[in-house]
């Protein structure tokens, strides 16, 4: 490839950019704000949905080990993110880190890839938010038409005691085992997912109005969901039966990934989605009051708190009920039901926590994506309009509105499974590039001041690369195909626009 494809952004220019004033982003976030942003992004669909489903299908009670494995993989990447975030307090996350270490072309690849993570993650989680809200409203006699609660063209059937469900192979098999013909049930075809579209539109308006307001809203949501999770853990321990943990590692069924140690590894890959979000803290680096001190606290603090909560929830949930009963959209509610009638008051509380938890995840994902656009536009790789900052609110409002519109459409028409797989592969690729970047920079510029240093380099970054690549390899072929198509589209945009308008490249040509 031509050498100019790998032109790098100097650390001197990054430091100037990070201290820029005037039309820059507002520095309003404290270490506490950054930590709660991380917790807000991480705790959501993973703890309220995936914990039970992964235990039921792959790992059994040993899902606890799966959480530890996946958490370690994120810890390796998190340590690498933290070194960069303290050195380069610029919006843009892994995109900016790659630009400074690996060059422009690879920076474009990671920036384009990050769109998969943040944009599609917001849409993914909004679909889960929709499910909990529909269920919560139903408890109070408010019914949203089924046609407005699922992805476009999804076939829904009404099952007694279960409500409207999307027709899948597993549902058909389950009903047949009970002697029910799925074709005999009332059916409708969904138009779009209205609640999912509504929450994205609402949070987009909030994000345009200012980072401080958004952070305050997120803080409230985080307090609600963490408080309820702690209540569930505290009360749940009293209802734990050790019999439900036997066997702790169910024997393998003869198929790779279904229980046994291979099931634990498969479970780790599936619940990886539960950890996505801590890296979103780094996208807000340019809005941190003291990024060199606060970014490490925000990234590592949020990751540590969430890992502990995940492990405790997994221990309690699989101790209250048999893991075989947890393959449902609301496994924690199943656990509450098993506690007996005296604990039924906790069910609506859990649903409120789920709604709050998912709201904060959507908020942080929608916050991250426009800041990637902002950095890429500042570098000339995207049109300058994406770098426009609102005169009053000092937020990248054009990028924010565009992100909100696209995410709203995706949430309304696409199913959660397809969205979730794209998010996972996009995030894992970002982690791999950040880990590689740390090793490259330590070799090429060892003299740079690093307020936080990733320990045991190159061991920690290499472990990050290996664990993330292993999880990528476990994803379906169709997901890889969609990633390739997405990247090819990105290459066209880069070579037709970004490469010609790159400010770094133009400065290089001006230099004597």
pLDDT of residue 419: 67
> Which one has a higher pLDDT value, 2 or 263?
263
Taking only the tens place, the pLDDT of each residue in 139-175 is: 788 888 988 888 888 888 887 766 777 776 656 766 7
Residue 421 clears pLDDT 80, i.e. is over it: no
Would you place residue 405 in the very low, low, confident or very high pLDDT band (cuts 50, 70, 90)? very high
Helix (H) or strand (E) holding 157: strand 155-159
pLDDT of residue 22: 42
- Nearest residue to 66 (alpha-carbon basis) of 242, 260, 338, 357: 260
Would you place residue 279 in the very low, low, confident or very high pLDDT band (cuts 50, 70, 90)? confident
The position carrying tokens 């046609």 is 147
Beta carbons of 186 and 158 less than 8 angstroms apart: yes
Q: Is 170 exposed, middle or buried (0-12, 13-18, 19+ CB in 10 A)?
A: exposed
What's the chain's average pLDDT?
81
- Mean pLDDT in residue range 97-125: 82
Taking only the tens place, the pLDDT of each residue in 286-345 is: 677 777 778 788 888 888 888 899 899 999 999 998 888 787 656 777 788 788 888 888
pLDDT of residue 460: 94
All structural domains of the chain: 3-149+192-510 (1.20.1740.10), 155-189 (no CATH)
- Nearest residue to 320 (alpha-carbon basis) of 281, 356, 346: 346
pLDDT of residue 200: 94
Taking only the tens place, the pLDDT of each residue in 377-389 is: 888 888 888 888 8
- Mean pLDDT in residue range 362-367: 83
pLDDT of residue 389: 82
243 DSSP 8-state letter? G
The position carrying tokens 């690729």 is 429
Taking only the tens place, the pLDDT of each residue in 445-458 is: 888 888 888 999 99
pLDDT of residue 492: 92
Question: pLDDT exceeding 70 applies to what percent of the chain?
Answer: 88
pLDDT of residue 224: 86
Taking only the tens place, the pLDDT of each residue in 61-90 is: 999 998 888 888 888 988 888 888 777 766
pLDDT of residue 207: 87
> Which one has a higher pLDDT value, 31 or 286?
31
């Amino acid at each position: 490839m031509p050498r100019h494809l790998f032109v790098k952004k100097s650390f001197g220019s990054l430091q100037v950019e990070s201290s820029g004033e005037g039309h820059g982003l507002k520095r309003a976030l404290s270490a506490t704000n950054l930590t709660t942003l991380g917790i807000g992004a991480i705790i959501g669909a993973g703890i309220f949905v995936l914990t039970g489903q992964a235990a039921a299908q792959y790992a059994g009670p040993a899902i606890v080990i799966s959480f530890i494995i996946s958490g370690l993989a994120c810890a390796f990447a998190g340590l690498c993110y933290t070194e960069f975030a303290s050195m380069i307090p610029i919006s843009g996350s892994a995109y900016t880190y790659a630009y400074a270490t690996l060059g422009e072309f690879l920076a474009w690849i990671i920036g384009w890839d990050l769109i998969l993570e943040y944009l599609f993650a917001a849409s993914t989680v909004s679909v889960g938010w929709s499910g909990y809200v529909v269920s919560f409203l139903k408890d109070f006699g408010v019914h949203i038409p089924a046609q407005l609660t699922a992805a476009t063209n999804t076939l829904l059937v009404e099952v007694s005691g279960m409500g409207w469900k999307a027709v899948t192979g597993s549902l058909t098999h389950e009903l047949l085992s009970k002697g029910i013909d799925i074709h005999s049930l009332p059916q409708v075809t969904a138009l779009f997912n209205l609640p999912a579209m509504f929450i994205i539109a609402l949070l987009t308006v909030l994000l345009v109005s200012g980072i401080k307001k958004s952070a305050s809203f997120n803080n409230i949501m985080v307090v609600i969901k963490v408080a309820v999770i702690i209540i569930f853990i505290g009360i749940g321990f009293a209802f734990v039966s050790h019999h439900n943990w036997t066997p702790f590692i169910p024997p393998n069924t003869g198929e790779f990934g279904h229980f046994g140690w291979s099931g634990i590894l498969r479970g780790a890959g599936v619940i990886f989605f539960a950890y996505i979000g801590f890296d979103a803290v780094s996208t807000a680096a340019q809005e941190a009051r003291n990024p060199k001190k606060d970014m490490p606290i925000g990234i590592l603090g949020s990751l540590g708190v969430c890992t502990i909560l995940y492990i405790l929830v997994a221990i309690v949930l699989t101790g209250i009920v048999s893991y075989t009963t947890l393959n449902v959209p609301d496994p924690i509610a199943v656990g509450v039901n098993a506690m007996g009638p005296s604990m039924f008051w906790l069910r609506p509380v859990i649903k409120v926590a789920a709604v709050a938890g998912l709201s904060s995840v959507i908020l942080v994902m929608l916050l991250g994506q426009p800041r990637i656009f902002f950095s890429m536009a500042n570098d000339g790789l995207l049109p300058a309009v994406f770098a426009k900052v609102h005169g009053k609110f000092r937020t990248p409002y054009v990028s924010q509105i565009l992100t909100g519109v696209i995410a709203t459409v995706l949430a309304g028409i696409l199913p959660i499974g397809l969205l979730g797989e794209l998010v996972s592969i996009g995030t894992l690729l970002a982690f791999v590039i950040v880990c590689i970047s740390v090793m490259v920079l330590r070799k090429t510029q060892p003299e740079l001041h690093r307020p936080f240093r990733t320990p045991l380099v190159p061991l920690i970054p290499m472990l990050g690369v290996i664990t993330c690549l292993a999880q990528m390899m476990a994803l379906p072929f169709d997901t890889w195909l969609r990633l390739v198509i997405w990247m090819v589209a990105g290459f066209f945009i880069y070579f037709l626009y970004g490469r010609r308008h790159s400010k770094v490249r133009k400065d290089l040509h001006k230099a004597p």
